[in-house]
Amino acid sequence: MSSQNNMENLPIDIHYNKLLDWLISRRHCSQQWQSTALTIREKINLAIQDMPPVEEITKLLQGTYINYFHCKKIADLLKSTDSGAKNIFGQYSSQKMKDWQEILKLYEKDGVYLAEAAQLLTRNVNYEIPALKKQIGKCQQIQTEGERKESEYISNAAKLKKEYNDTCKQMGIEGKKIKSELATLVRDMPSVFDKLAKKSKGLEGAVQYYSAFMDFIMNRSDLGASAVPMLRYVQQKGSTTTYEWQTGHKPSQVIESAINIDTADEVDKTADTGDIDWGDIGTGEEVDYAADIDFDISEVSVEGVGIETVDGGEEVGTGGNIDWGTGEVTKSDQSSSKEGVAQGENALSLLDNPKTRNLFVDDLSELECFLAQRLVELGGEGDVLSGSHSQSAPASIQVDVTKVTEMLEAVRAITTELTSVQMHHLMLIRNSPRYVDRLTDTLKQKLQLADKMVFYQKQSVAKRNQALEEQRDLEPKLDVIIQRTKELQKQMQKEISKKYKDRPVNIMGEINTI
């Protein structure tokens, strides 16, 4: 007797995935239950069309699939309304109650409600709940990715705008109307060259020091006078025309080549032009907006070592290390200009003409190298003027370190100004006005990419907010289906327990971890 009682108290453990097979194998429901379930489902769909406005009934009809236990609850709630009234024969007079009573009878016949509930449990645990969790996880991933992309787009936009501003600063322009500002700088180049020529007069002391030192070291009196000839000429006469340097007299007429830079209809590049349509990207697909964008814009670089092609197919360096050429120009070169008329290359000033400018820069480099070497010698023990040489050396070359340093700094200042990035670009524009178009396009591309980054950043924020909104909609649905699934699990355990003299029933598996 005791062992029989123990058997009755042993729990019945059923895995949720095998619950339906377990019920069929023990004849608690029929294998053909689905055909009856379809009929029941049609009757439920018709019955819910005409329901009284009872709050509890409304809640039951929302959220999840309506099963037998919901129907039973609805019938109980209807009993407390006018629909629950009975006639003198003890039958319900309301068609609503008759419909739901019929549904319950169909459910209970052959245990259809048990089979349907078992299938619903399996479907919720294996498919519905994981699908919702996966979708919520995807929404969270989109938000995380959106925050990362948003940060990248903001960073890239700031980087591109900084590059644009830095480039404009190096070129000496504000960057609002690039062509107009560059055209103004090009027109001001003659005055810039005149200022440099005047500054070169401040190097007379350095030139005399160099000449006197050469004469003393070589023991000659005429060698130093021939050193740095172009620098000496510019110091004496300024940046004259090439014609005057070649012929020795000023031209009666100077015919300069016009510099045509088309600035018509140029708009402010930095003005806010509103939102730009970068195409339809609101397709809902995951798009890496930065994947096709190359932020390394070096086609026309103020710091790179690129190659630019100017008019006529000539290639010139565009980097900071400027190649001033190796051509030699002498005063014996003959011009195709008419007598007294300076035109073409001969009409250019010495510092504007690439060939004569090379000679000027070469002289500056020669003087710079000499002064730099003298500083090294004066700071060490290898000075050629030390010992017996110092007694015979003239006073003009016995210069201290401080004076030589001042001379060297003055030479380097003029060299730096003449060979700066800004000057280099202006000379390229001076020789090829079409170069300004390519330079403008490159700078404009930086701003366009910056605008595109701002656009993508806004799209990323919109997409992230959309994912957040979707997550907020899905989470309550997930909570409801989990709650209803757990309720259905308990209801099923209770129903099965009734069939086995109230033995404990446990539905096992992942259903207990949802």
Same domain, 20 and 41: yes
Confidence at residue 327, expressed as pLDDT on a 0 to 100 scale: 42
Maximum average pLDDT range among 42-46, 342-346, 507-511: 507-511
Q: Cα separations (Å) of 426 from 144, 171, 187, 239, 430?
A: 47, 8, 10, 17, 6
Residues with Cβ within 8 Å of residue 35, at least 6 apart in sequence: none
Q: Does residue 267 sit within a domain?
A: no
What's the half-sphere exposure (Cβ side, CA atoms, 13 Å) at 324? 22
* Residue 263 falls inside a structural domain: no
Amino acid occupying residue 35: S
Run of H or E including 255: strand 253-255
In terms of domains, do 458 and 480 share one? no
The highest-confidence range among 73-77, 132-136, 317-321, by mean pLDDT, is 132-136
What would the mean pLDDT of 419-434 be, rounded to a whole number?
A: 80
Do 37 and 65 fall within a single domain? Answer: yes
395 and 440 co-located in one domain: yes
| Pairwise CA distance, residues 154 & 102, whole Å | 65
42-51 average pLDDT score: 84
Q: What is the mean pLDDT of residues 2-29?
A: 84
Taking each helix axis from N to C end, the angle separating 112-123 and 95-108, rounded to the nearest 10 degrees, works out to 80
DSSP state of 12: E
Paired tokens of 351: 């510092």
Indicate the length of the chain as a whole number. 514
Report CA-CA distances (Å) from 445 to 166, 172, 439, 449.
15, 19, 10, 6
Q: Which domain holds residue 408?
A: 176-256+297-465
User: To 10 degrees, the CA torsion angle through 295, 299, 301, 305?
Assistant: 120
CA dihedral (338, 341, 346, 350) positive or negative: positive
Structure tokens at 133: 């969790």
Please identify, among 429, 444, 465, the residue that sits at the C-terminal boundary of a domain: 465
Whether residue 304 has pLDDT greater than 90: no
Instruction: Give the whole-angstrom CA distance, residue 78 versus residue 36.
Output: 24
Dist CA 28 CA 31 (whole Å): 10
The Cα–Cα gap between 484 and 130 comes to 15
Residues pairing with 254 in the sheet: 342
For 151-190, the pLDDT digits (tens) are 999 999 999 999 999 888 888 888 888 888 887 878 778 8
Tell me whether residue 484 is in a domain: yes
CA quadruple 157, 161, 164, 166: dihedral sign: negative
CA–CA distance, 261 with 186 (Å, rounded to integer): 10
Using the predicted structure, report yes or no on whether residue 467 has a pLDDT greater than 80.
yes
Cβ atoms within 10 Å, residue 188:
12
Strand partners, 86: 92
Q: Choose among 343, 383, 98: nearest CA to 242.
A: 343
What residues contact 368, with CB distance under 8 A and at least 6 apart? 408, 411, 412, 415
**Averaged pLDDT for residues 436-458:** 89
In a domain, 1, yes or no: no
115, 31, 35, 106: which is closest to 496 by C-alpha?
Answer: 115
pLDDT of 287 reads 43
The tokens for 348 are: 């250019």
No. of H helices and E strands in the chain? Answer: 18, 6
Cα separations in angstroms, 317 against 277, 420, 443: 36, 13, 18
| Region 463-490 average pLDDT | 94
Same domain, 492 and 448: no
Distance (Å, whole) CA 439 – CA 240: 30
Q: Is residue 167 part of a domain?
A: no
Residue 333 pLDDT class (50, 70, 90 cuts): very low
Last residue of a domain, one of 445, 465, 485: 465
The per-residue pLDDT for 462 is: 94
Between residues 101 and 436, which one has the greater pLDDT? 101
- If asked whether residues 119 and 70 sit together in one domain, one would say yes
Residues 58 and 190 reside in one and the same domain: no
Instruction: Using DSSP, state whether 395 is helix, strand or coil.
Output: helix
Same domain for 252 and 328 = yes
Tell me what pLDDT residue 141 has: 95
Task: Verify that 440 and 507 share a domain, yes or no.
Answer: no
| Residue 223: other Cβ atoms inside 10 A | 14
Q: Do 219 and 359 reside in the same domain of the chain?
A: yes
Place of tokens 């003449």: 418
Q: How confident is the model at residue 321 (pLDDT cuts 50, 70, 90)?
A: very low
DSSP state of 349: B
Any domain includes 143: no
Tell me the C-alpha distance between 322 and 426, whole Å. Answer: 13
pLDDT winner (highest mean) among 43-52, 403-412, 419-428, 432-441: 403-412
Q: Which of 269-273, 407-411, 469-473 has the lowest mean pLDDT?
A: 269-273
What total number of domains does the chain contain?
2
pLDDT level of residue 269 (50, 70, 90 thresholds): low
Residues with Cβ within 8 Å of residue 116, at least 6 apart in sequence: 33, 37, 67, 68, 107
Average pLDDT on 56-77 reads 79
Clarify whether residues 400 and 504 are in a common domain.
no
The confidence score (pLDDT) of residue 174 equals: 84
pLDDT at 297 over 60: no
Report the pLDDT averaged over residues 9-37: 92
Confirm whether 3 is domain-assigned: no
pLDDT band, residue 64 (cuts 50/70/90) = low
Mean pLDDT for all residues in the chain: 79
Mean pLDDT of 333-357: 76
Which DSSP letter does residue 257 get? P
Residue 57 located in a structural domain = yes
Domain end, chosen from 465, 483, 499, is at 465
pLDDT digits (tens, 9 = 90+) for 190-244: 888 889 999 999 999 999 989 888 888 887 777 767 889 999 999 999 888 888 8
pLDDT at 71 over 70: yes
pLDDT classification of 259: cutoffs 50, 70, 90: low
Task: Looking at the structure, tell me whether residues 54 and 114 fall in a common domain.
Answer: yes
Mean pLDDT of 127-145: 95
Residue with the two structure tokens 């007797």: 1
Instruction: Pick 479 or 87 by higher pLDDT.
Output: 479
